[in-house]
């Protein structure tokens, strides 16, 4: 391997203190893999874990945070308590590969605007 690429495989620590084992990251992908009700499927877990080997971090797909926020078929849901077991399985499968998972969110500190939900 060329010396210029070695840093990609070295640990990295973010300013907030979290660290990852390497600097390669799986970008968020719309994979259409969740069940119709938004729960995580085995195919979805297999798809993501196959891509998480030797990566520092996996950024998961967008998920609906309210039942009426579903944007497309196969979108994962984080809107209900019954979504939690599948999400735990997904996180455990990613972490078993030595990879960190990241869920995107909206930060008021970064955007200057509060997060909004249709359920207020």
Closest CA to 90 of 39, 25, 37, 56: 39
Residue 62: which domain range? 23-102
Question: Considering the domain boundaries, does residue 120 fall inside one?
Answer: no
| CA 88 – CA 17 distance, rounded (Å) | 23
Question: Considering the domain boundaries, does residue 54 fall inside one?
Answer: yes
Q: How many domains does the chain have?
A: 1
Question: Considering the domain boundaries, does residue 80 fall inside one?
Answer: yes
Cα 86–chain centre separation: 13
Check residue 1 and give its pLDDT.
Answer: 78
Question: Considering the domain boundaries, does residue 10 fall inside one?
Answer: no
Tokens read off for 83: 């979504």
Question: Considering the domain boundaries, does residue 88 fall inside one?
Answer: yes
- Answer for the pair 9, 56: CB distance below 8 angstroms, yes or no: no
Question: Considering the domain boundaries, does residue 7 fall inside one?
Answer: no
Residue written as token pair 């979108």 = 75
14, 46, 115 from 87: Cα distances, Å: 24, 13, 22
Question: Considering the domain boundaries, does residue 111 fall inside one?
Answer: no
- Answer for the pair 105, 115: CB distance below 8 angstroms, yes or no: yes
Q: Is this prediction's pTM over 0.85?
A: no
pLDDT of the chain, 120 residues: tens digit per residue:
789 999 999 999 988 888 999 999 998 888 899 999 999 999 999 999 998 888 999 888 899 999 899 999 999 999 999 999 999 999 999 999 888 876 555 555 555 555 554 444
| CA 48 – CA 20 distance, rounded (Å) | 17
Question: Considering the domain boundaries, does residue 15 fall inside one?
Answer: no
């Amino acid at each position: 391997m060329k010396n210029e690429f070695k840093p990609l495989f070295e640990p990295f620590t973010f300013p907030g203190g979290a660290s990852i084992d390497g600097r390669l990251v799986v970008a968020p992908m719309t994979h259409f893999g969740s069940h119709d009700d938004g729960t995580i499927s085995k195919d979805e877990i297999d798809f993501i874990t196959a891509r998480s080997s030797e990566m520092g971090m996996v950024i998961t797909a967008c998920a609906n945070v309210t039942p009426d926020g579903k944007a497309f078929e196969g979108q994962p849901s984080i809107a209900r308590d019954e979504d939690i077991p599948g999400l735990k399985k997904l996180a455990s499968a990613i972490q078993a590969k030595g990879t960190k998972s990241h869920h995107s969110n909206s930060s008021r500190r970064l955007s200057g605007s509060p997060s909004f939900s249709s359920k207020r």
